Structure 1
Amino acid sequence: MATNSPPFGATEETHATKDDVEHGSDIDPLQKGHLLSLEHTDPVLNAKMHLVNNAIDEIGMTTYQWKLFVLNGFGYAVDSLILLIQSIIAGQAALEFQPSFSRGLTIAVYVGMLVGALFWGLSADIIGRRTAFNTSLMICSVFAIVAGSSPNWIVLGLFVCLSAFGAGGNLVLDTAVFLEFLPSKDQWLLTLMAAWWGLGQLVAGLFAWAFLPNHSCADEATCTYANNKGWRYVWFASGALVFCMSIARITVIRLKETPKFLVGEGKDEEVVAVLQGIARKHNRPCSISIEGLQACGVTGAWDRRGSVASAHAKKRISFREVWLHLKGLFATKRMALSTSLIWFSWLLIGLAYPLYNVFLPSYLATRGASFGQLSPSITWRNYAITNLCSIPGPILAGLMCKSRWFWGRRGTMVIGALVTMAFFFAYTQVRNNAQNLGFNCAISFCLNIYYGTLYAYTPEVLPSAHRGTGNGIAIGLNRVMGILSAVIATVSNTSTPVPIYICAALYIVMAAVAAAFPFEPMGNRSS
């Protein structure tokens, strides 16, 4: 009969002290417990997770993880690329198609992102990370290319939605896959990876700058298919780029299923094969063994009621399977608090930032802001510069989140949210183009300190067996708020300052929520 006691070397999981947390790397990673092990949710899984974390730390950072940094970064870039492309081309497409509801593309892209986040998130926990990793970008690229050939507004909205569906799961998958191969001392790279989000924004801005100024019509009366191909070229170029990224994911690396997912499956032999295979290829030590894992006990053993010790129902494709993953996110009071606060944070950021972008132009016009008439080339050049400024934000956040001076991940989010809030309030006083560009660049930089850290923090504190579900719902809630922002902008008065101040004030709430998070990943290992 299998026992629930951990094997030799894992009987007493040690955890970082307060001083250890502050200094992060001052303690031997092999002596750390994983972040959620004190929650006592599953002693067998905890013991096995400890051994897997030991093996990953023993192997260390290799070219395999650096390849994942790039290939998973593609997913970040594509998510932001698709979101921005629809907003960039919506105006020109509307001139050509003259739709009755001009914000239809915004709703279409967020619906696609919402369904994609939930679908790919759940599938990552049910069937694994590998399948979704290999297929999601391919789906996105095909529909992005086809979107450029849309004959009318409805068809364009459909293809935008389907392209967003493929892209929408990448923020769920990329963080999970990368994190579950990362040594504990390098988990801060998960925050740094958000710089790819800014790179996607930059690419969107560069495509707009390249194609729209010289291939766009000026008004509805003269707008035809022949003189308004710029927005179509943007879609074609974006889709082709994403297609190349999807091919690279298949050819550059043969992704192995993550060992932490396999642990939850009870596939001890495959766990050992994956880790020892990476170690052999890169000439690294790896002492994990099948015997050591099996000595911990059995995961995946059925009881008389048809329940399973791991996080799966007897039938994978069932409501019970989904319920078990949801239940696992609230297994203890601290985990329930953590999950709830994370989801609340994603709701807040999902509402505040889109609403701010919607309301600000109308508000500035009522306050007498004088921008003058910029040429299309200068307009899109400034747009590209603003997006360029979003890249250094996650880089700085990555350095901050591993430092005791900034209170780890939580402190980095608090600082990022408060500084962004200050710039948002100040931005309402913009009066000319130079100020507009300067404040846009500052907000783009500061916002991504908070955003990039939240993206990384979310999977770090979720249990591995339910990571895809929890992360998918978090990002799904963000997309729901994006849909709501488009509806609010359509029916609300955009000329008053109240919405701007409310949006900025939401960042104060985000800072308070970040300070209240019960878990701090710095100095600990993820489950």
Structure 2
Amino acid sequence: MGADVERDGDDEISVQKGDILSLEHTDPALNAKMHLVNNAIDEIGFTRYQWRLFVLNGFGYAVDSLILLIQSIIARQAALEFNPSYSRGLTIAVYVGMLVGALFWGMTADIIGRKFAFNVSLILCSIFAIVAGAAPNWIVLGLFICLSAFGAGGNLVLDTAVFLEYLPSKDQWMLTLMAAWWGIGQLLAGFFAWGFIPNYSCDDPDIVENPGPCTYDNNKGWRYVWFASGALVFVMSILRVTVIRLKETPKFLVGEGKDEECVQTLQDIATKYNRPCSLTLEQMQACGQINLGRRGSVSHAKSKWSFGEIGVHLKGLYATKRIGISTTLIWFSWTLIGLAYPLYNVFLPSYLASRGATFGQTSSYITWRNYTLVNFSGIWGPVLAGYMCATPLGRKYTMVIGALITMAFFFAYTQVRTETQNVVFTCIINFCLNIYYGTLYAYTPEVLPSAHRGTGNGIAIGWNRVMGILSAVIATVADTNTPVPIYICAALYIVMAGVAALFPFEPYGHRSS
């Protein structure tokens, strides 16, 4: 079959590397065509097109963390103004939006393609983020935060999938590096909070004795944070449409049976950047016809607009025993990090505030300065993780090491006694935590079958969001100002390290399918 023919020396290297799911797929023709597409992408190599995707897809990462953290940052000041009956309502709203967004856009991407969801989801996020800043009450604020998160959460599913499906195999480690944008989003959230909240907010009764009333006129800081964030996201969403001008990804087109469009897309990129591409339509057709639209199809049901279509994609994630085990362990890992991460990060402001009070620190300016420093440190965890993933440690043991180091610092953090120690340890924890998190983000799409990548990635992130909702409930009945959440997080990271070691696939030295 065409995929087994070694055309030249470079191709031979590709064949030796192998496609990660080459022995797992249930459709030989689709497997062979994916192999040819991987060969073509390797032959073209890394171009300016991939650099654009790295920056503008990476901003999708930043938007996800930006929306998530801004919600937690502004919740206190908004609550002082609106006096809600349920103070954790915004946390639940943002996670519900991200849950529905991940599932909706993830499954949509496998049905109608990556391009539409990629272009639309970020624009929706920006519009509702801007409107959230003008919310007249707590319920309306929660609604628009939820709608903004719907766009952001769906966008995150597409960022990794689109970037991966254009990446040469030797550069797949950059998928982990792209998670550094998550830290940049956190940093932007910290900067907006640092710039607006201390200067344009009413007095907090927990900090200031005998504060005055909190009204719209004296509490606009949290609104400015939303306006600034939404405007920034809107600019980037426009740049994504105008600078990238994304074409449908070649691997999605193959799964649709559109071999001619797939070849044309790759040839266009090769021509534009003066790179070789020897893939031809005849080579693709020589692999045979994929099971498209027939009973037993691995790509689609008889009707793409039926519930059976979702069933086909779910079944595809369990096509073989190893793929099924991999899918289950990935979803379990996302569930664990979905509980550990919010307990530590979403509720970190309240914990930092309580520690600051212990250290005699009552300045809102200093609190948000420290928060910004912590977020800045998170950028560099994925940078180190990207380097580690490109070594024989691979993705699996990068995650194991990252999780265990994070666990150790979590336990050590409970012994912090000074303000300096507090800032240093939170910075180190955020750095180490993002080694694991960034690698998991990259590993997930790498080992999922291309035809079902959006669905699998969407459900994985969906489990993460479900646990985020649960964490808000836990925070309501528990005291997050104590070290208890830190102990829970540490224990969860031990489990995550064990699960990572059990993953059946290692992408290092292989190519995604």
TM range (shorter): over 0.9
For the pair 1:69 / 2:54, whether they are aligned, the reply is yes
Q: Which residue of 2 aligns with 1:331?
A: 319
Alignment of 1:311-326 (within 5 A): 311-326=299-314
Q: Is the 8 A contact 1:55 1:287 kept in 2?
A: yes
Match of 2:209 in 1: none
Q: Which moved more, 1:452-461 or 1:364-373?
A: 364-373
- Pick from 100, 109, 116 the counterpart of residue 94 of structure 2: 109
Change (3 A) 1:360 1:85: closer
1:504 to 467, 470, 490: 490
- Cα displacement (A) at 1:379: 1.2
| Counterpart pick for 1:372 among 317, 335, 360 | 360
Paired with 1:255 and 1:360, the residues of 2 have a C-alpha distance of 37
Output the aligned Cα RMSD. 2.1
Aligned mate of 1:266, from 257, 261, 269:
257
Q: Deviations over 1:428-447 (max 9, x none)?
A: 11122111101110011000
1:132 and 2:126 aligned: no
Deviation, 1:28, is 1.8
| Aligned residue number for residue 22 of structure 1 | none
Partner of 1:403: 391
> Is the 1:141–1:163 contact (alpha carbons within 8 Å) kept by the matching residues of 2?
yes
Say which of 59, 77, 96 aligns to 1:92: 77
Per mean C-alpha deviation after superposition, the further-off stretch among 156-165 and 212-221 is 212-221
Q: Is the 8 A contact 1:359 1:500 kept in 2?
A: no
Match of 2:275 in 1: 284
1:413 counterpart (399, 409, 414): 399
- Cα offset, 1:501, TM superposition: 2.1
> Do 1:311 and 1:465's aligned partners in 2 also have CA atoms closer than 8 Å?
yes
The equivalent of 2:226 in structure 1 is 235
The question of whether the paired residues in 1 share the 8 Å contact of 2:40 and 2:278 is answered with yes
State the one-letter code of the partner of 1:222. Answer: P
Q: Which position in structure 1 is the counterpart of 2:38?
A: 53
Is 1:222 aligned to residue 191 of structure 2? no
1:368/1:80 Cα in 2 relative to 1: closer, same or farther (>3 Å)?
closer
State the partner residue of 2:208. Answer: none
CA deviations on 1:314-366 (whole Å, 9 max, x unpaired) are: 21121100000000000111001100000000010111122235777888999
* Further displaced range: 129-138 or 29-38: 29-38
Amino acid at match of 2:232: L
CA separation of 1:245/1:366 partners in 2, compared to 1, >3 Å: closer, same or farther? closer
> Judging changes above 3 Å, is the alpha-carbon distance between structure 1 residues 60 and 106 closer, same or farther for their aligned structure 2 residues?
same
- The answer for unaligned runs of 5 or more in structure 1 is 1-5, 14-24
Deviation, 1:27, is 7.9
Counterpart residue identity of residue 488, structure 2? I
SS at match of 1:37: coil
1:309 Cα offset (Å): 3.0
- 2:184 corresponding residue in structure 1: 199
Which whole-Å CA distance do the structure 1 matches of 2:31 and 2:167 have between them? 18
Deviation at 1:29, TM superposition (A): 2.5
Which residue of the other structure, out of 180, 194, 197, is the alignment partner of 2:165?
Answer: 180
Letter in 2 for 1:225: Y
Match of 1:256 in 2: 247
The verdict on how the C-alpha distance between 1:113 and 1:358 changes in structure 2, with shifts beyond 3 A counting, is closer
Seen in structure 2, the aligned counterparts of structure 1 residues 281 and 353 have a Cα distance that, compared at 3 Å, is same
Match of 2:194 in 1: 209
Give the 3 Å change call, closer, same or farther, for CA 225–494 of structure 1 in structure 2.
Answer: closer
How many residues get paired? 505
C-alpha separation between the residues in 2 aligned to 1:465 and 1:251?
Answer: 27
1:345 to 318, 323, 333: 333
Distance 1:416 1:287, change over 3 A: same
3-state SS, counterpart of residue 39 of structure 1: coil
For 2:339 and 2:497, locate their aligned partners in 1 and report how far apart those are by CA, in whole Å: 15
Contact 1:121–1:472 (Cα < 8 Å) also in 2: yes
Output the amino acid matched with 1:431: R
Is 1:120 the equivalent of 2:108? Answer: no
Deviates more, 1:481-490 or 1:292-301: 292-301
Rounded to whole Å, the distance in 2 between the matches of 1:257 and 1:362 is 44
Aligned residue type for 2:499 = V
Contact map agreement 1:359 1:499 (CA 8 A) in 2: no
* Worse overlay, 281-290 or 362-371: 362-371
Superimposed CA distance per residue, residues 368-404 of structure 1 (whole angstroms, 9 cap, x where no aligned partner): 9822133111111111111000011100000001112
Question: Is the Cα contact below 8 Å between 1:110 and 1:479 reproduced in 2?
Answer: yes
- Native 8 Å contact 1:364 1:430 kept in 2: no
**C-alpha separation between the residues in 2 aligned to 1:103 and 1:301?**
47
Distance 1:408 1:309 in 2: 33
The one-letter code matched in structure 1 to 2:97 is: G
2:443 is matched with which residue?
457
1:519 matches 2:513 = no
Corresponding letter in the other structure for 2:54: F
Q: Counterpart of 1:144?
A: 129
SS of 2:56's equivalent? helix
Question: Post-superposition shift, 1:219?
Answer: 4.0
Flag structure 2 segments of 5+ consecutive residues without an equivalent: 206-211
CA contact (8 A) 2:69 2:346 kept: no
What do residues 63-103 of structure 1 show as CA deviations (whole Å, max 9, x unaligned)? 11111001100100000000010000000000000001001
Q: Which residue is equivalent to 2:466?
A: 480
Structure 1 residues 67 and 151, CA, compared in 2 at 3 Å: closer, same or farther? same
Separation in structure 2 between the aligned mates of residue 388 and residue 155 of structure 1, nearest angstrom: 32
Tell me if the contact between 2:125 and 2:147 (Cα under 8 Å) persists in the aligned partners: yes
CA distance in 2, matches of 1:367, 1:382: 12
1:179 counterpart letter in structure 2? L
TM norm structure 2: 0.95
Distance 1:287 1:456 in 2: 29
Cα contact 2:292–2:300 (8 A) shared by 1: no
What is the SS of the residue equivalent to 2:378? coil
Question: Is contact 2:69–2:189 with CA below 8 Å preserved after alignment?
Answer: yes
Q: 2:339 & 2:40 partners in 1: Cα distance? A: 41
Separation in 1, partners of 2:77, 2:352: 23
| Gap change, CA 1:160 and 1:421, over 3 Å in 2 | same
Contact persistence 2:6–2:12 (CA under 8 A): no
8 Å CA contact 1:176–1:459 kept in 2: the answer is: yes
Q: Matches of 1:86 and 1:75 in 2, distance apart?
A: 17
Residue type matched to 1:202 in 2?
L
Say whether the 8 Å CA contact 1:369–1:432 is kept in structure 2.
no
Amino acid at match of 1:10: D
User: Which amino acid is 1:85 matched to?
Assistant: I
Match of residue 434, structure 1, among 420, 429, 444: 420
SS state at 2:75 partner: helix
Q: Which residue is equivalent to 2:27?
A: 42
- AA matched with 1:392: W
